[in-house]
Amino acid sequence: MEHGAFGDQRNATFSLTEEDHTLANAVRFTLNQDPRVTFCGYSIPHPSDARVNIRVQTTGDPAREVLKDACQDLMLMCQHVRSTFDKAVADFKTTESGQAMNTDCED
């Protein structure tokens, strides 16, 4: 849900339900990498409330578009991390099975 962007599209607060510091901090980090962002921060109104408020202020582009771009960038980063991890696991399993076969042959 978007709050406070009706007049000035450059500034907005977005409320994400069922989220916590995990996603909010990652989105904040990604937003702060964007040169169009002049300010970005998040808050959790209350610890028992599963909601995060993310504030975005930009140099001129609509805050909604900048947030959408940041989420897409974050998704690409997560996909890269996942594929790198999966490749490392596969390489490790291949190396381990090769070493296991070598030790079996030595006996």
Distance (Å, whole) CA 96 – CA 9: 55
Confidence of residue 26 (pLDDT cuts 50, 70, 90): very high
What's the order of all strands across the beta sheet hosting 11-17?
Answer: 2-3, 11-17, 51-58, 37-43
Is residue 53's pLDDT more than 90?
yes
Looking at residue 100, its pLDDT comes to 66
**Which of the 8 DSSP states describes residue 4?**
S
Segment holding 80, helix H or strand E: helix 63-106
Confidence of residue 106 (pLDDT cuts 50, 70, 90): low
Cβ atoms 24, 74 nearer than 8 A: no
Alpha helices in 19-62 (DSSP H): 21-32
Most distant CA atoms of the chain, gap in Å: 77
Considering only 12-21, 26-35, 93-102, which range has the smallest mean pLDDT? 93-102
Looking at residue 30, its pLDDT comes to 97
Looking at residue 2, its pLDDT comes to 61
Instruction: Express each pLDDT in 60-94 by its tens digit.
Output: 999 999 999 999 999 999 999 999 999 999 999 98
Distance (Å, whole) CA 71 – CA 66: 9
